[in-house]
Structure 1
Amino acid sequence: MAEHRPESPADLLRALHERGGTAAAHPELPRLLARAGADDLAAAGRLLAGLDPDEVLRHHPGTPTVRIAVTGRGTVTEAVPPLAAELARHGLLPRFHLSGSGTYVGDLSDPHSALYAHRPEVTLCLLDPWTVWDAVPVPWQPLDVSVAAERQLRLLSQLAEAHAAHAPAGAVLVLNTVPLLRRHTHQLTSHAHRAELGGLWRQFTADLLFLARPSAGLAVLDLEPVTSAGARADDPRLGAYADAHCAGPLLAGYAREAAHLVRGLRGAAKKCLVLDLDGTLWDGVLAEDGPRGVSAAGSLRGAAFGAFQRTVKQLASQGVLLAVCSKNDPGPVARALACHPEFPLGAGDFQTVVADWGSKAEGVRTIAARLGIAPESVVFADDLRFEQESVAAGVPGAAVLPLDGEPALHPERLLADGWFDTPDLTDEDRRRPARYAERAARDRLRTKAVDHHAFLAGLGVRVEVGPAQDHETARVSQLSLRTNRFNLTGARLSTEEVRRYAAAPGGLVLAVRVADRFGDDGVAGAALARTGEGALHLDALLLSCRVLGRGVEEAVLGGLLRAARGTGHTAVHTCWRPTRANAALRGLLETHGFRPRTAPEAGGGATGYTHPLGHIGDLPGHVELRLRLPHRDGETEVSACAPSKN
């Protein structure tokens, strides 16, 4: 009997393509391509590069799309297939605009170029290995290359400024570092000159990387990790005959990094890493070896698990939440995590632990519910294929790491897909694990409290609302990208868009800072408002899910209404646009006295609301509120003090 070989992702996608079913099956592509290797992704990219976005949207109107322009020093056509494949792996549907060969200077400097007519959200300016060398004379010395590199750097800085001026608000220009080829270095016969060239080129690379300001619309992808992993940078034949100098492996690595950046710009970074224990976090089987018998040091194999734990700990230091989902008895798990001397990770590093003998898919859903996050915000790591498939099938949208019995490869596989990558890291990100620990303590108090009102009164909730400081604008942008339940319109704003809103005449960006007796949540919300025609127009209202249910939302909305009336406004106008998760906000508006109005400008199924500022309900009695609303005559403050708890 012939051996049955499972169809590869490329085979399955090819069969879909031949039946004309790729567009209809687009939501299945992330699952289909999740385990695809380099060859399968290359084949998938060639099929997906020609996919019509409009056809996909006819089948699935809610598919997240991203407008991408691709330009560069040479031919950029070959970059599209790997980009299409990598974006499909993350459920994103690209609308591409491709520039001609070598047109990047005109594309980016001319406000009327076809690139800007495309209105890209992301502009990829692909710098191939011949960037700089076009301007180097022959014969040359290292100093000639340095001069040409410095000129290139100034040009790129000018093009970035032009892009910021001419691209749509919030658009990001993406540059990349330029690999230094052996065919260039070894034209120098002197080892001393080669070393000099290497140093000067690395200085150029460093200066290019230091241009990066993702929150201000300029990102730079570092391709050295791609080439150091073995990807060849150039293709001499394609370079000579088609002006396409980037080799396929380099483009594949570039596309992966670019897709991770796009996903991060969309606020789709994962939040929580859920870890198995036996064979994943440590060497050994807890039920057989006992809490002291499992290992993450003491042998070469054990040390590989220790290296994985240190990688996980590094991610946690930047705000990644950690949890355990293990088929083990809870007692031994608790003892192993609490007191094992070899482990870089300890019990205090984990937000929650599910240790039982049930389904791991159910365990992951339980963890998400305990943390108050969506299950699709989870990355699940397990070394057993059965458990991986169980979670992939039972928790749609969760990312599953393809670990196996080789712990030395665990760190590489954890980091391969950049699940936790974000354009900027805020202080709130770094403090996320501490905030969730505070939330857990809060929840424990809630379960003990017989009277919910007494529980709220005992929290000591403090809310301060006032103009966002410059260093807080990145956090306001992040809230707009990540907040779904308490997001008035579903608007997604870049840091630069937040700054422009605040700088516009009459524009106000208010940060909502929250604390209680368990800890300080920092900037947990924001309101964007503007004045005009005697009214306050509330364009955005955002609150992190972690502060909901404490009376914060009622205090902020009620305080804004009081402050608007105190500044002489006759009404507050706002707009609620339905999303998949914000239905409760509509009820909150109506509870606070907002009434529907005709709002043809709202669009997208939105409903306009107006509050006439007549009767305004009471503020929550357990919340201490201080709200400052600037206006042209000064500032109006609304304050309410919660009763003292002695």
Structure 2
Amino acid sequence: MPTTPDTADGTAATVPVATAPAATAPAATAPAEPRSVADLHRAGQLLAQYPKVRALLAPLGGPELLTAGQLLSRLDPDEVRAAHPAVPQVTVAVTGHGTLSQLTAPLTAELARHGLLARIAVSDFDSYVFDLSDARSDLYGAEPDLVLCVLDPMAVFDEVPVPWRPEDVERVAAEKYAIVAGLVARFEAASRGTLVLNTLPLPHRFTAQLVDHRSRARLGALWREFNARLLRLADAHPGLVTIDLDPLLAEGIEAVDTRLSLYAKAHLAPGLLARYAREVGHLARHLTGRTRKTLAVDLDGTLWGGVLGDDGAEGIEVADGYRGAAFTAFQQVVKQLGSQGVLLAAVSKNDIEPVGEVFRDHPGMTLREDDLVRITANWRPKHDNLAELAEALNLGIDSFVFVDDSPYECGLVRHALPDVAVVQVGQEPARHIDALLADGWFDTRELTAEDRSRVAKYRDELVRKDFLDSFDSLDDYLRQLDVRVALAAVAEADVARVAQLTQRTNQFNLTTRRLTPADVRALAADRGGLALAIRSSDRFGDNGLVGAVLGHRAGKALHIDNFLLSCRVFSRGIEQACLAAVLRHARDTGATEVLGSYRPTPKNHKVKDFYPRGGFAQAPDARAEDGTAVFRHDLAGIAAPPDHIHLTASFGESTS
């Protein structure tokens, strides 16, 4: 009888059983693809094959992910970086009140799930006050991208007298808040990284020590007020993020393991630390420019129940019945994401006419045509439709999240487009919401006005492409487009959007240096700094703030530290017009040269010739270890801007 072992991709392969010894040695076969991080570890290939880790971790959770994190945390980040220099690295400093060594493994795994290499340093027990208050501490010396100041309930209760009353807890909590607020201000002044705090759970073993319900209510109220103050700290400190643990605890996670708390001074339970690490992973993904921008959803079985082609519009499940209510709840969540700048698209194997009628006319639909940038309904492979949609929107395919209930379709997209985040929902529509939201694909630090109007702007962009198709030449199209550009010093109202552009723009981003709002604000306020915002509009509408030029003066030289532009407005001459304006302004204000940097990344190769096309020459011997090249313009001859661009420039005080 033949045996049918699993192959590397999970399918069955028929292998005949040998009936006699082979006369000659069998031919060598290629090694099987690893199916887990443990496979790579056992084979001694975890370092060499590190780029495969991301895909191997994608489906994991719970103990399996923790085990993988333990293996990954044994790797030397320097060796990984030397072997794979293209892998982005995030330096994380962990400090706090309790013992936090159990955070290393889940944090390593969560960052690796998003293609990031974690360099983690955990401070000693209860060292957060020293770490954050002394600019000479090892924490600041590491120049971390993320600082996790992990707070726990014992940070307060360790200093409450025995016996105690709610008033004692209130006094200590107020003192702790004052200390934390001072540390946040100190960090903001001393570091350009992001500081992460968290709210503190209130364990039952403390409320239960109060025998009267009135005192318990008083304790609960003052504890929540303390946490609310921690959450509101971020309003005054742009470099701060506070993670609210209450929604995580509501998932049924244990907050405290009493034995670990008493014996090991580990005051937050391992499961809660692992869930917290997932939130940190989402934040790290955003800070490295990997936030997803587009949500593409299947229809039959995903956005509504049933099969439209078989059941007809009147037979699909939406709004009515308990399953219809579940699909409606899912549509409401999708619409909520769209209202905050996530681009929504439908990608379905269906005929377009009945699909359009459902979105326009079905009384139970929450999502409508105007909520979507595009509805694609045909019988072509979905990965082809996704690739074409990415091209039409001028977005990288790695900015897409695809949701489908079909394991077959999900598998095809994973195989053909590995950079797409695939969310496979099951047959129970009530669980669709949890599946979509589990990974925080669209998390960002702050919403801007541009975010809320993004869907309309991208719909306009598709209209522009249709308009382009009506012309025989690109020049004729650009002249009729009537592009208008405003280049001006960054104002306070622009700070959040400019910082967001540095964090989310990858293709037209000359150096991909990620800036916080505090960084942008400081640059705009620096008399020697250059911080310019680019706005554009055309016959189809206002594109908003779409780019920035950032730099500084040094003597007679103007240094352009970064130049970035939204992918929505590529190839219209905006970048050339703005560069010419900056060069003219530099010359008119006494500069003798302008220097521009380009640091290559896997995604910005399209702009590697940006400075040479603008009349710059590469400076000799100016290439750094990370590949950064410096280009120089002597201001002797400045190219004229494209004649179809109408540009106004107001440099204010940013370069004075």
**Pair in the same fold by TM > 0.5:** yes
* Counterpart selection for 1:490 from 491, 500, 512: 512
In percent, how many aligned pairs have the same letter?
A: 44
Q: Return closer, same or farther for 1:47/1:362 CA change in 2, 3 Å cut-off.
A: same
1:526 aligns with 2:548: yes
1:86 aligns with 2:106: no
- SS of match in other structure, 1:279: coil
* Counterpart selection for 1:72 from 96, 100, 120: 96
> By how many angstroms is 1:377 displaced?
0.6
Q: Partner of 1:23 in structure 2?
A: 47
Q: Return closer, same or farther for 1:98/1:447 CA change in 2, 3 Å cut-off.
A: same
Q: Distance in 2 between matches of 1:24 and 1:149?
A: 49
Letter in 2 for 1:571: E
Q: Return closer, same or farther for 1:215/1:316 CA change in 2, 3 Å cut-off.
A: farther
- SS of match in other structure, 1:135: coil
Q: CA RMSD in A?
A: 2.2
Q: Partner of 1:342 in structure 2?
A: 364
Q: Return closer, same or farther for 1:611/1:153 CA change in 2, 3 Å cut-off.
A: same
- SS of match in other structure, 1:537: strand
> By how many angstroms is 1:632 displaced?
9.3
Q: Partner of 2:431 in structure 1?
A: 409
Q: Distance in 1 between matches of 2:422 and 2:178?
A: 43
> By how many angstroms is 1:559 displaced?
1.6
Q: Distance in 2 between matches of 1:12 and 1:534?
A: 56
Q: Partner of 1:370 in structure 2?
A: 392
Partners of 1:75 and 1:244 within 8 A in 2: yes
Q: Partner of 2:224 in structure 1?
A: 202
More divergent stretch after superposition (382-391 vs 157-166): 157-166
More divergent stretch after superposition (402-411 vs 3-12): 3-12
Q: Return closer, same or farther for 1:166/1:177 CA change in 2, 3 Å cut-off.
A: same
Partners of 1:215 and 1:474 within 8 A in 2: no
1:211 aligns with 2:233: yes
List gaps (5 residues or longer) in structure 1. 635-646
Q: Partner of 2:56 in structure 1?
A: 32
Partners of 1:575 and 1:602 within 8 A in 2: no
> By how many angstroms is 1:223 displaced?
0.5
> By how many angstroms is 1:277 displaced?
0.3
Letter in 2 for 1:621: D
Write out per-residue CA displacement over residues 53-88 of structure 1, whole angstroms, 9 at most, x where no aligned residue. 123223311111111111111111011111111111
Q: Return closer, same or farther for 1:599/1:291 CA change in 2, 3 Å cut-off.
A: farther
Q: Distance in 2 between matches of 1:459 and 1:35?
A: 46
Write out per-residue CA displacement over residues 370-414 of structure 1, whole angstroms, 9 at most, x where no aligned residue. 211111110010011111111111111211113110100111111
> By how many angstroms is 1:527 displaced?
0.8
Q: Partner of 1:644 in structure 2?
A: none
Q: Distance in 1 between matches of 2:366 and 2:538?
A: 31
Letter in 1 for 2:352: P
Q: Partner of 2:137 in structure 1?
A: 113
Q: Partner of 1:580 in structure 2?
A: 602
> By how many angstroms is 1:599 displaced?
5.5
- SS of match in other structure, 2:155: coil
Letter in 2 for 1:112: R
Letter in 1 for 2:95: T
1:477 aligns with 2:492: no
1:218-257 paired onto structure 2 within 5 Å: 218-257=240-279
1:468 aligns with 2:490: yes
Q: Partner of 1:423 in structure 2?
A: 445
Q: Distance in 2 between matches of 1:251 and 1:3?
A: 41
Q: Partner of 1:300 in structure 2?
A: 322
Letter in 2 for 1:142: P
Q: Distance in 1 between matches of 2:431 and 2:230?
A: 31
1:179 aligns with 2:183: no
Partners of 2:86 and 2:602 within 8 A in 1: no
Q: Distance in 2 between matches of 1:365 and 1:468?
A: 35
> By how many angstroms is 1:231 displaced?
0.1
Q: Return closer, same or farther for 1:255/1:588 CA change in 2, 3 Å cut-off.
A: closer
Partners of 2:96 and 2:150 within 8 A in 1: yes
- TM-score relative to the length of structure 1: 0.94
Q: Partner of 1:159 in structure 2?
A: 183
Q: Distance in 1 between matches of 2:472 and 2:266?
A: 70
- SS of match in other structure, 1:212: helix
Partners of 1:214 and 1:424 within 8 A in 2: no
Letter in 1 for 2:423: L
Partners of 1:214 and 1:423 within 8 A in 2: no
1:609 aligns with 2:627: no
Q: Partner of 1:504 in structure 2?
A: 526
* Counterpart selection for 2:354 from 307, 329, 332: 332
Q: Return closer, same or farther for 1:601/1:360 CA change in 2, 3 Å cut-off.
A: closer
Q: Return closer, same or farther for 1:631/1:279 CA change in 2, 3 Å cut-off.
A: closer
More divergent stretch after superposition (531-540 vs 13-22): 531-540
Partners of 2:111 and 2:117 within 8 A in 1: yes
Write out per-residue CA displacement over residues 189-214 of structure 1, whole angstroms, 9 at most, x where no aligned residue. 11111111111111111111101259
> By how many angstroms is 1:526 displaced?
0.7
Partners of 1:107 and 1:115 within 8 A in 2: yes
- SS of match in other structure, 1:66: strand
- SS of match in other structure, 2:154: coil
Write out per-residue CA displacement over residues 16-40 of structure 1, whole angstroms, 9 at most, x where no aligned residue. 2122212223222222122213121
Q: Distance in 2 between matches of 1:207 and 1:16?
A: 46
Q: Distance in 2 between matches of 1:56 and 1:529?
A: 32
> By how many angstroms is 1:356 displaced?
1.7
Q: Distance in 1 between matches of 2:363 and 2:633?
A: 61
More divergent stretch after superposition (465-474 vs 449-458): 449-458
Letter in 1 for 2:90: V
